[in-house]
Amino acid sequence: MRLYAELSSSAQNAYADLFDAVLASSVSNSVANLNGSFGTKSVHQKKYWYFQYRDINGSVRQIYIGPDSDKVRALIAQHQSHEMLPIRKLAAAAVALGCNPVLPKHYRVIKRLDEYGFFKRGGILVGTHAFLTMCNMLGISPAERMQTQDVDFAHAGKNISIALPANIKVETRSALESLEMGLIPVSTFKGTEGARYVNPSDPAFMVDFLTAKTSVSDEPVHIEGLSIALQPLKFMEFSMKDTTQAGALGNDGAVLVTVPKPDRFAIHKLIVSAERKISETAKINKDVRQANVLIQYYMDSRPDELAETCKEAKENGPGWEKRLRKGISKLKKINPAASGFLLETMGD
Give pLDDT tens digits for 141-156: 999 888 778 899 998 7
Q: Which stretch, 4-13, 40-49, 52-61, 169-178, has highest mean pLDDT?
A: 4-13
pLDDT of the residue at 54: 67
From CA 117, how far away is CA 341, in angstroms rounded? 40
Residues with Cβ within 8 Å of residue 249, at least 6 apart in sequence? 15, 18, 91, 94, 95, 99, 100, 101, 102, 107, 132, 133, 136
Q: Kindly indicate the confidence band of residue 161, based on its pLDDT and cuts at 50, 70 and 90.
A: very low
Mean of pLDDT values over 319-341: 96
pLDDT of the residue at 168: 59
> Positive or negative, the Cα torsion across 154, 158, 159, 164?
positive
Q: What is the pLDDT of residues 215-269, one digit of tens each?
A: 888 888 887 778 888 999 999 999 998 899 999 999 889 999 999 999 999 999 9
According to DSSP, residue 219 is labeled: S
Task: Answer whether 91's CB lies under 8 Å from 249's CB.
Answer: yes
Mean of pLDDT values over 278-292: 92
Task: Indicate the range of 47-56, 196-205, 269-278 predicted with least confidence.
Answer: 47-56
Name beta bridge partners: 230.
Answer: 221
H helix count then E strand count, the chain? 12, 14
From CA 308, how far away is CA 283, in angstroms rounded? 26
Mean of pLDDT values over 276-284: 89
Q: What is the pLDDT of residues 97-115, one digit of tens each?
A: 999 999 999 999 999 998 8
Mean of pLDDT values over 296-314: 97
> Positive or negative, the Cα torsion across 62, 66, 70, 74?
negative
From CA 154, how far away is CA 158, in angstroms rounded? 12
pLDDT of the residue at 162: 43
Of 89, 75, 70, which Cα lies nearest the Cα of 28?
Answer: 75
pLDDT of the residue at 79: 57
